[in-house]
Structures are given as C-alpha cells and as structure tokens.
Structure 1
Amino acid sequence: MRVAVVPAAGLGKRFGGKKQFFTVMGKKLLEYPLLVMEKSELVDGVILVLPAQDLETGRELQSRFRKVVKIVEGGKERQHSVYRGLLAAKELSPQEVFVHDGVRPLITPALLNDLVVALSDYQVEGVIPAVKPKETVKEAGAPLEPGDFMVNRTLNRDKLLLAQTPQLFRFDVLLECHRKALEEEFIATDDSALIERYGYQTVAIPGDYRNIKVTTPEDLKIVELFLKEFYLV
C-alpha cells in the first residue's frame, strides 16, 4: 500500500493568509494536488494535515475527495505536521509514502510514476524530484545592512540541486527518522534531509521548474499561468 501525507498546516503569517486555501481559477491551491492524487492508481489514500481551526474545511474536502482517508491537526513546524500524518497513516500499514507540500499545486501524474519507478529501480530509501539552479549561486558571508551580505564564494551549480515535492520514501524508514529527529529536537526543512541525517540513501530524479512552492503573493500569478497550460484553459 502507498499513501500520501500532505502537510498543509501553515498559517501564512508573512503571506497575509493561509496560502493553501487561496483560490486560483476557482479552486483552492490545496485542491490541485488532491485532484492528481485522487485520479492516480499509485496513491491508495491521502492523509491531510491542516491547522486546528480548519479541520472542518478538511472534512468538506474529504467529502469530495474519496482518497482523503484522514484529517489530522498539524504541529508547530512542518516536520511536526508530517510526523503526525505518518502516525495517522501507520494504521493503514503502508509500505511507501509520498510527502507533498500542500502549496505546490503543479504536480503531474507522470511525476508520481517516475518517483515510484525510481524507488523500485534504485532500491534506496527515498527518491526526490529536483532541478538545477538557473542562476549563479553565492555563499553568503557576514551580514551588513538588512538584506546585505559579504560574499564568501561562488558555488558550483553543477553540484547543486533544488529539492521539490512530492518525495517518496519507504514508510517505516521515514517514520523511524522522524522519531529520532523528535528525540534529538532536530528540525530539517524537508523529509529527505532526515533520511540523509540518519544514514539512509536518497536519489534525485528530474523535477519540473513549474512545480513551484507558493511562497509570495507574486507566485499566485505564476501558478495561474501554469495551471492554464496544464488544464488548457
């Protein structure tokens, strides 16, 4: 069995609202990845992790997406939210788990398939989609004025990857890594970092530059343009 944990418990304080519930082209951002998972034979169930005050919204989504099998209250950090989702998923005894940011609406069925194939072919514990940086990347040094930094050096772009989601893992391994991180009070910015920290292997496959994480209000305009391309509107 293969499930998906979708952390969407952010409060969007810097954004000006909860990004996952912003409407683009008549649907909440969160609905777009749920639509892809709903139609995919590679996803057997979805665990949706939401803010405590939005569980009713989750139940409304659950009424429209039959694969949303559980609604879970999120934690303080994204990592805590994913862990709560994994604990809820454990009852389903999955062998593999997708973890996907609820504010990345532009995923495709092909990407889900590529991740599943790679996890099987490479016999590793995790597979992530990633893209190469397009710009020259500098390492920041000492801070100066707000937003200004001394530059330490230029990094080699050929050795850098920008990680995306969904990421796919062996379920038991990811749950073990989350438990260890909780005990150590270690916080990572994505789940594959936990896999790496505890000695397991992750493989990166080609991602998609359109698979952006909505972070600023400007991103909503970019998402709308790509959604029109995806759905040929």
Structure 2
Amino acid sequence: MMNTIDQYFLIVPASGIGTRMNADLPKQYLTLNNGLTVLDQTLKTLLAIENIKACVVAISKDDTKFKNSLFANHDKLLTTAVGGKERFHSVMSALNALRPFAKDDDWVLVHDAARPCVKASEVSNLMATLKNNSVGGLLAVRVVDTIKKSENNIVEKTIDRLNLWQAQTPQMYRFGVLFKALTNVIENALNITDEASSIEHLGLKSVLVPASKSNLKITTAEDLDLANFYLKETFT
C-alpha cells in the first residue's frame, strides 16, 4: 500500500573523475559561466523543488572539494556517502545512508551531478506522472537521428529508431524497489549503466517521461560549452 503523502529523496552520485574532460578537476567541480560549479548548479535546481525532502550526495573517499560547495551545509543535505567503483556502488552507498529516513514506498530520485541543465518543471512532471506507479521511471528523449550499428567503423545495419529513447536523469523509483534491484546487481555481478537497467533485471517496467534535449550530461569540453548556452537561455 502506497503512502497517502509521498516523500521524495534525492541521490546525486558525484564521485567520478571525468577522465574524458581532460581537465585538472573532476567535471562536477568545473566552474560554469554563471560562477557556480556543475554540481552546485545541479543542486541549486533540485534542492529548490519543494517536494524533495532531503538529499544524499555520493562523493569519492578522496574528495576535498565538496566541503567548499555552496550546499555543503544545506538544510536538505542529510549526509554525504562514500562513492564506489561504479555508479551503482555509489547509489547503493547513498541508499544505505537513506535507510534510517526512507520507507520502502517512498520515492528516490537519482540524478547525475553532471546534468546541471535539468529543469525543475520536468522533474515536477516526472513526479506527477509517476505518483500512483508502484515501480517508477525516468526522464528521456526520443531518438530522432538515424542510428547505425557498426563494426570497426563499417556500417552493419540501420537500427529502427521508432521505439528508441535516450535515457536521462532523474531516474525515480520506490525506495524498496530500487534497493532490491541494486542488491540483485551487486550480488550477481551484473553490468549496468543506470538505475533503469537494474529494474529491468528484476523483470519490472519503467515509465519513460519525455524531457528536453537540454538536460545533457557533461562528458566533454564541448558539452560544457553547450551547458553554458542552455543555462544562459534558461536563466537570463
């Protein structure tokens, strides 16, 4: 039976080192044109959402930067968790930190630290769309480009894009469902790249909630430029 009043908790995995950025800092600590770090811009948007009750940020055990975050002492920050080797290890660490506070039917939103252009309106739409769902879902955008499968840069075939989506974050699931799914991943040494993949391994279904292309994940220097453009368009 679901809560009559849903509680929403936020997890932000932020322990990556961002090797593809070729930068001196992990990408979540790079400074945007608005003066905020990538991580702080992400937290600024999400922690301002009234329905989000509390947050756990997963950081590297060697992290020396988060203490300087504008949100290191935020009222909604419950604690930091120690990030792991893979993303799902970091999320599981954060879930364990949440266990004293969250019930199985509470919601957990997992959002990439390196997606600073996420729109609060789209997160709110995700919450509203999934409100009565027993599992959860994620923000995503339909694939519009023609997709090719290749071998050594030679096209093998064209993939039908009709039912293809690009997964984004937040990915939002009931606490108990996500905890069970990630426990299954760890116990069975499964290889996943997002929370929705762990849900698939339980044989459960995730709902895709349409979002904007502007909710990009910063991976390269070019992405950082694009994020600065989107943020300028959104907040000016």
Q: TM-score, normalised on structure 2? A: 0.90
> What do you get for the CA RMSD once the two structures are aligned?
1.4
Q: Aligned partners of 2:136, 2:100: CA distance in 1, in Å?
A: 21
Q: In structure 2, what is the equivalent of residue 73 of structure 1? A: 82
SS in 2 for 1:166: strand
58, 62, 75: which one aligns with 2:66:
58
SS in 2 for 1:157: coil
8 A contact 1:177–1:194 mirrored in 2? yes
SS in 2 for 1:213: coil
Q: Aligned partners of 1:38, 1:65: CA distance in 2, in Å?
A: 9
What is the 5 A alignment of 1:110-129? 110-121=121-132, 123-129=133-139
For 1:127-146, what per-residue CA distance to the aligned partner results, in whole angstroms no more than 9, with x for missing partners? 11111123110122x32xxx
Q: Aligned partners of 1:130, 1:124: CA distance in 2, in Å?
A: 19
Greater shift, 127-136 or 161-170, is seen at 127-136
SS in 2 for 1:40: coil
- Check if 1:30 corresponds to 2:36: no
Q: In structure 1, what is the equivalent of residue 114 of structure 2? A: 103
Q: In structure 1, what is the equivalent of residue 202 of structure 2? A: 198
Q: Structure 2, unaligned stretches of length 5 or more?
A: 1-6
What is the 5 A alignment of 1:8-23? 8-16=14-22, 17-23=25-31
11, 17, 23: which one aligns with 1:5:
11
Q: Aligned partners of 1:153, 1:118: CA distance in 2, in Å?
A: 36
Q: In structure 1, what is the equivalent of residue 50 of structure 2? A: 41
How many residues align? The count is 224
Q: Aligned partners of 1:65, 1:106: CA distance in 2, in Å?
A: 20
- Check if 1:139 corresponds to 2:143: no
For 1:32-54, what per-residue CA distance to the aligned partner results, in whole angstroms no more than 9, with x for missing partners? 12111221112101100111121
- CA shift, 1:2, in A, is 1.4
Equivalent residue letter for 2:53: D
- Aligned-residue sequence identity (percent) comes to 31
Equivalent residue letter for 1:22: L
Equivalent residue letter for 1:5: I
8 A contact 1:124–1:202 mirrored in 2? no
SS in 1 for 2:212: coil
Q: TM-score, normalised on structure 1? A: 0.91
- CA shift, 1:161, in A, is 0.3
- Cα gap change, 1:205 to 1:63, in 2 (>3 Å): closer
8 A contact 1:48–1:58 mirrored in 2? no
Q: Aligned partners of 1:63, 1:3: CA distance in 2, in Å?
A: 17
Higher helix share: 1
- CA shift, 1:231, in A, is 1.0
SS in 1 for 2:65: helix
8 A contact 1:42–1:112 mirrored in 2? no
Equivalent residue letter for 1:42: N
For 1:159-207, what per-residue CA distance to the aligned partner results, in whole angstroms no more than 9, with x for missing partners? 1000000111011000001001100111211100111111111010111
